[in-house]
Structure 1
Amino acid sequence: MIGFKSIKLFIFNFLRFFYFLMIVIRNFFYDIKLIKIKKFNKPVIGVGNITTGGTGKTPMVIEIAKILIKLNKKPIIISRGYKRQSKGTVIVSDNNNILESVVNSGDEPFLIAKKLKNIPIIVDKNRYKAAQIASQKFDFDIVILDDSFQHRKIFKDLNLVMINFQEKDENYSLLPVGRLREPYSSLKRADLIIWSKYKKDYETSSFNKKIIETSREQLFTTIGLKNQFDKKFNILVFCAVGDPQSFIGLLHSKRLNIVHKIIFKDHEKLSMRKLNELIELKNKYKADYIVTTEKDWVKLPESFQKSKIFKFLELEIKFKNNDKDLLISKIKKLI
């Protein structure tokens, strides 16, 4: 008798085949210019990936914006605002203030706005429309497109693709079987491959090795903790991110005393019931604090943010050796 898992796998492989056809045909139409790629009148840097989430795009967008500011440039950031509850064009922040809630902005654009208070952040599924609206409202000289590798409607002067160094081989299958959003061959569109979550002694997947061994320009980054947390405290950890194991692994590497952990779906906004359950679990496991990512922190109700028991850990990008210089040199060529 055929089991449920076998039927599910058959259906997923069937859907994967049609997803593959859709992606290949779509990219072919772009490649032969049957679908027009629009070029904006200012340089555009795209930051994206070929898998679903967990590659560190948001910290990299923030890092690139900081590099541009140091180079005396005035960037804006455009995102689709994944999982937001609003529609159309939303100006998350202008040059001075955050104008929208996390619900209307999406958690990632809202977090970026919190970290970069002097840069306009705009969300719209139609990124070109967002860029046109931005040109009417703001003074800027370069655009950063967040989560843009699959968004081919706008020409990218610098197309950056982020890949998780710790991604497993079994995940490198097209959706919905695996986490791949596009086939391996799509990497030919990338100007620079940025490896995230690099570990010196980690045995990376054969898929990743195949990419590393190519002649493509690439650099390596890892994620570190910007703020410290006292190791004497017991902590209950929760997160709703694309790669929760990397976050939890980072906490273990810092020898933090995790008494319990809860993993939610990526981008999930926790209900009051679930938040109260977290407090109950804190008491059950005798934790001193409930700790989460900064991206999850911005989604908490204000009363929970002000509570002394909820804390977040701030992540930062660290470059291997002099790899940051390669990124800066690529950016300088645009300006």
Structure 2
Amino acid sequence: METLRNKIENIMKKGSEARFSSVPEFVCYLFSVVYGIVVRIRACLYENGIARSKRLPCKVVSIGNVTLGGTGKTPLTLYVAELLKRSGYKVVVISRGYGGRAEKSGGVLSDGNAIFMDAEQGGDEPCLMATRLRGIPVIVGANRHLAGEKAMRSFDPDVLLLDDAFQHIQLQRDLDICLCDARKPFGNRHLVPRGRLREPVSHLRRAHAIVLTRYSTSEKMPATDRVTIEKYAPGRPVFRCSHMPAGLKNPATGKTHGAGAVTGRKVVAFSGIAENDDFAAMLCGIGADIAGFISFADHHPYSETDVKEILQTAKDLNVDYIVTTEKDYVRIGKRMATSFPTLVFLISISFGEDADAFESFIKNRLSNS
């Protein structure tokens, strides 16, 4: 039986012309209209100074998007954090900690060396960032201003890097980077729950730069989407980047192998991310023989039943490895690595020929703000 969540997700994927084709779609459309009114009023209050945004005593960089999940915010946050660190800035990453017990209360997940929370406490994405970022603290909290104040007291950073904060307009920032998936930047152009937009595309005007993620020279962005970006973010620089396989980590040994470690090898893969199909496609792209793929919802909290299902599937299909994403591994933990040969798929961001321009833009923006 199709769950309510699956029904809504299927409605979100449908074209804009199908809004009245069924009762559930019509209901979702009505909710999206009401949601849009609320979002526009909120933005208007801040833009006209009726609602006051707060300022922190350091540089603030925000990375976010106008759609629900799947644009690659976490990989780009990692990329920018390392870029800022290399440039001599003292950086602290702030993330909401979605799904973690500390989301409301907030707290220091990592001081840049030690990690003090697991995924259940701090959320999967912040935990992933904490494991990857050495020397860069990670703080979680839904209230980014309070989290920022804590960062100032604890670490005195030069730059606060806000993960997934494009909608958090109650905190002022010096640089606002908006990500768009180059293949489908705005979905069906409806607001949630009829579509995937978190706010109207016209709000791209707040962005100081647009980053097109998952960009491919073989897949051109629809002309209407290019026109939309030019219309609502005129004069803003647009940078292109791609998601690249960065290797496979064996959590049992701590060793990282090249992508060729699974070429021609029989694997069972599983993931609970916004774009499970992208993960499967990247595995196929490096030559893995996917005997079975198990999909879960984004941020899925893995149960013992889930673990047993994954392990049993791997045994039944007699595969060489179980492969999953970094984000999933921080949630499922060592329950996999100690039971069956498991590899964690690593992803990195590549700006290609836009790399130097992107770095220069960030440095210039921060030095002049």
Give the secondary-structure state (helix, strand or coil) at the position aligned to 1:299. helix
1:252-281 deviation digits (Å, cap 9, x = unpaired): 222221111111111112111011101111
- C-alpha displacement at 1:209, in angstroms? 2.5
1:88-145 deviation digits (Å, cap 9, x = unpaired): 1211001321111111110000000000131111111111111111111113111100
1:138 equivalent in alignment to 2:155: yes
Give the secondary-structure state (helix, strand or coil) at the position aligned to 2:56. coil
Give the whole-Å Cα distance in 1 for the aligned partners of 2:159 and 2:135: 14
Give the whole-Å Cα distance in 2 for the aligned partners of 1:128 and 1:50: 21
Number of residue pairs the alignment of both structures matches: 331
Which sits farther off after the overlay, 144-153 or 204-213?
204-213
1:299-334 deviation digits (Å, cap 9, x = unpaired): 11323234442211100001131x122221222121
Unaligned segments of structure 2, at least 5 residues: 1-19, 248-258
Q: Does the 8 Å contact 2:187/2:197 carry over to 1?
A: no
Give the secondary-structure state (helix, strand or coil) at the position aligned to 2:332. coil
- C-alpha displacement at 1:14, in angstroms? 0.8
Give the whole-Å Cα distance in 1 for the aligned partners of 2:332 and 2:157: 32
In the superposition, the TM-score normalised over structure 2's length comes to: 0.86
Give the secondary-structure state (helix, strand or coil) at the position aligned to 2:241. strand
Q: Does the 8 Å contact 1:172/1:207 carry over to 2?
A: no
- Residue in 1 that maps onto 2:50: 34
Give the whole-Å Cα distance in 2 for the aligned partners of 1:179 and 1:72: 37
Give the whole-Å Cα distance in 1 for the aligned partners of 2:186 and 2:223: 7
- Residue in 1 that maps onto 2:89: 73
1:325 equivalent in alignment to 2:356: yes
Q: Which amino acid aligns with 1:240?
A: G
Q: Which amino acid aligns with 2:324?
A: T
Q: Does the 8 Å contact 1:94/1:118 carry over to 2?
A: yes
Give the secondary-structure state (helix, strand or coil) at the position aligned to 2:315. helix
In the superposition, the TM-score normalised over structure 1's length comes to: 0.94
- Residue in 2 that maps onto 1:127: 144
- C-alpha displacement at 1:54, in angstroms? 0.4
Q: Does the 8 Å contact 1:297/1:305 carry over to 2?
A: no
Which sits farther off after the overlay, 32-41 or 297-306?
297-306
- Residue in 2 that maps onto 1:276: 308
- Residue in 2 that maps onto 1:12: 28
Cα distance change of structure 1 residues 212 and 144 upon mapping to structure 2, 3 Å threshold: same
- C-alpha displacement at 1:203, in angstroms? 3.6
Cα distance change of structure 1 residues 15 and 183 upon mapping to structure 2, 3 Å threshold: same
Give the secondary-structure state (helix, strand or coil) at the position aligned to 1:194. strand
Give the whole-Å Cα distance in 2 for the aligned partners of 1:85 and 1:153: 23
- Counterpart among 220, 224, 228 of residue 240 in structure 2: 220
- Residue in 2 that maps onto 1:98: 115
Cα distance change of structure 1 residues 306 and 68 upon mapping to structure 2, 3 Å threshold: farther
- Residue in 2 that maps onto 1:24: 40
- C-alpha displacement at 1:220, in angstroms? 0.3
Alignment of 1:244-263 (within 5 A): 244-263=276-295
Give the whole-Å Cα distance in 2 for the aligned partners of 1:150 and 1:131: 16
Give the whole-Å Cα distance in 1 for the aligned partners of 2:52 and 2:289: 53
- C-alpha displacement at 1:232, in angstroms? 2.5
Give the whole-Å Cα distance in 2 for the aligned partners of 1:57 and 1:93: 19
Q: Which amino acid aligns with 2:215?
A: Y
**CA RMSD for the aligned pairs?**
1.7
Which sits farther off after the overlay, 17-26 or 302-311?
302-311
Q: Which amino acid aligns with 1:89?
A: G
- Residue in 1 that maps onto 2:192: 175
Give the secondary-structure state (helix, strand or coil) at the position aligned to 1:81. coil
Cα distance change of structure 1 residues 255 and 281 upon mapping to structure 2, 3 Å threshold: same
Q: Does the 8 Å contact 2:204/2:229 carry over to 1?
A: no
Identity within the alignment, %: 32
Cα distance change of structure 1 residues 328 and 313 upon mapping to structure 2, 3 Å threshold: same
Q: Which amino acid aligns with 2:174?
A: D
- C-alpha displacement at 1:213, in angstroms? 4.8
Q: Does the 8 Å contact 1:98/1:117 carry over to 2?
A: no
Give the secondary-structure state (helix, strand or coil) at the position aligned to 2:331. coil
1:293 equivalent in alignment to 2:313: no
